[in-house]
């Protein structure tokens, strides 16, 4: 094993993520056409990547560990569709391998990539083996040998791509999953080299889009939940809500115990706290990263339990509401709701617990991720058709717990 003193910086990581986004801008329509990873998997991947790159535009942290964590948090929270969830878990694994590091050696970064592949593989059943798994295993093997030889990160990525391309040649079918893996690695390599051949998003020149491509600014996520109490506030309730609009996607300000209780979802925790200091003495400050497993205490919930479903249009929304759904999210197989939208609905404090009902296989993993993050406060009822969803919702009872409802509705 040869020595390798190469250092990968936070700036290198920014370029790699930008390169991956750039590559998906080129390839997402081709991925959509391949099938095998869900309806419009390429669009779901592109929008998940859009959420991932947004925090880099104004990030003050230069460390590779800090930047990778920001990207991971945004990708996990902004994940759309099954393909988007798998990609987000890859970022989560990379972040786990880089946590606490200011810079990383080529070997450390190569190992972090291997973590990312392992995290992504966990979500996909081994039987029958999908093309994504086949290619991921080949990529991991190629990267492993390159890391063992102490090669620079560019050569590690190149070796991983070569192994993946060889695996694709041996596949009977070339479904979207294999193409997603290779596009991601090729984009990272191009970003690291500064070789952008697509209409890329340049983080140094500002964000922009071309033609009818999804605008990443529409996929900005606010993954941090901030709750605090303001004693003897110096501003009115309406004034506080107005101040928070610019940096929050959700905010509640309520009068309680001689002060105000504030609940905000933001991507700028520091800005939120700086604003809050000017409102009056603060206490009971609680900051939660909603992209990680967390306990979600209900705050004066209006209902014991509520049913949540996804509607693609007003006609479906009316049918779902009539059947018993209390919360409706907008979404379809082509435009999967993001994990952020589901978690945000659960954080709204409408109910103490929720039953999430879904019939689309395209965003089944998104619902399962919501269950993973929120634990016992959320139960899932996964049906095979819209008609089954309506039948299940008609069995929903506000007098039962979420777990009891899920059992009855699933039956």
Average pLDDT per run of 10 along the chain, which is 411 residues long?
Answer: 72 92 91 78 93 88 94 96 93 95 90 89 71 85 88 90 91 81 93 65 45 77 92 82 81 82 90 88 92 77 90 94 93 86 86 92 91 92 94 95 95 87
C-beta separation of 349 from 298 below 8 A:
yes
Cβ atoms within 10 A of the Cβ of 117, count?
25
pLDDT given at position 299: 61
Same domain, 149 and 242: no
Minimal CA–CA distance to 34: which of 152, 114, 135? 135
**Residue 233 maps to which CATH number?**
3.30.70
pLDDT given at position 204: 41
Q: What is the pTM for the complete model shown?
A: 0.90
**Residue 91 maps to which CATH number?**
1.25.40.340
**Residue 374 maps to which CATH number?**
3.40.50.510
Cβ atoms within 10 A of the Cβ of 16, count?
26
pLDDT given at position 246: 76
Q: How many domains does the chain have?
A: 3
Establish if 294 belongs to a structural domain.
no
Same domain, 262 and 382: no
C-beta separation of 222 from 249 below 8 A:
yes
C-beta separation of 8 from 104 below 8 A:
yes
pLDDT given at position 212: 63
Query: Domain span at residue 336?
Result: 303-410
Cβ atoms within 10 A of the Cβ of 380, count?
18
> Could you say which of 239, 265, 289 is where a domain stops?
289
Give every CB contact of residue 147 below 8 A, 6+ residues apart in sequence.
106, 107, 110, 111, 114, 156
Q: Is 336 left (phi over 0), alpha (psi -120 to 50) or beta?
A: beta
pLDDT given at position 1: 41
Cβ atoms within 10 A of the Cβ of 409, count?
25
pLDDT given at position 207: 44
Same domain, 136 and 246: no
pLDDT given at position 374: 92
pLDDT given at position 240: 83
Same domain, 194 and 231: no
pLDDT given at position 211: 54
CA dist list (Å): 371 to 228, 292, 374 = 26, 11, 5
pLDDT given at position 205: 40
pLDDT given at position 126: 62
Does residue 128 have a cis peptide bond before it, meaning omega lies within 30 degrees of 0?
yes
């Amino acid at each position: 094993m040869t020595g390798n003193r190469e250092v990968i910086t936070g700036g290198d990581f920014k370029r790699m993520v930008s390169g991956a986004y750039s590559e998906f801008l080129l390839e997402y329509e081709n991925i959509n056409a391949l099938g095998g990873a869900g309806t419009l998997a390429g669009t779901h991947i592109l929008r998940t990547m859009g959420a991932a790159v947004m925090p880099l535009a104004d990030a003050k942290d230069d460390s590779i560990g800090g930047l990778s964590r920001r990207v991971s948090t945004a990708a996990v929270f902004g994940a759309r569709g099954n393909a988007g969830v798998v990609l987000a878990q890859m970022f989560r694994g990379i972040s786990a391998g880089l946590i606490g590091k200011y810079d990383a050696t080529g070997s450390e970064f190569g190992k972090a990539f291997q973590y990312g592949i392992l995290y992504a593989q966990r979500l996909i059943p081994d039987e029958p083996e999908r093309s994504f798994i086949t290619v991921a295993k080949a990529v991991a093997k190629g990267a492993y040998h390159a890391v063992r030889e102490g090669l620079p990160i560019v050569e590690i990525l190149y070796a991983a791509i070569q192994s993946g391309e060889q695996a694709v040649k041996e596949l009977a079918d070339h479904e979207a999953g294999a193409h997603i893996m290779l596009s991601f690695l090729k984009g990272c390599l191009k970003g690291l080299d500064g070789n952008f051949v697509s209409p890329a998003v340049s983080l140094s020149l500002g964000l922009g889009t071309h033609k009818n491509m999804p605008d990443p600014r529409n996929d900005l996520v606010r993954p941090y939940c901030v709750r605090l109490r303001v004693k003897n506030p110096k501003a009115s309730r309406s004034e506080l809500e107005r101040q928070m609009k610019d940096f929050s996607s959700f905010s509640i300000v309520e009068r309680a115990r001689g002060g105000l209780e504030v609940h905000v979802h933001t991507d700028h925790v520091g800005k939120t706290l700086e604003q809050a200091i000017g409102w009056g003495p603060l206490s009971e400050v609680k900051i939660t990263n909603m992209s990680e497993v967390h306990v979600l205490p209900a705050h004066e919930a209006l209902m014991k339990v509520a049913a949540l479903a996804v509607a693609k249009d007003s006609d479906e929304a009316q049918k779902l509401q009539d059947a018993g759904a209390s919360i409706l999210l907008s979404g379809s197989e082509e435009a999967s709701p993001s994990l952020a939208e589901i978690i945000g609905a659960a954080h709204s404090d409408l109910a103490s617990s929720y039953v999430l009902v879904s019939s689309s296989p395209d965003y089944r993993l998104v619902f399962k991720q919501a269950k993973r993050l929120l634990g016992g406060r959320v139960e899932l009822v996964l049906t095979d058709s819209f008609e089954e969803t309506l039948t299940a919702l008609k069995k929903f009872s506000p007098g039962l717990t979420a777990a009891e409802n899920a059992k009855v509705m699933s039956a």
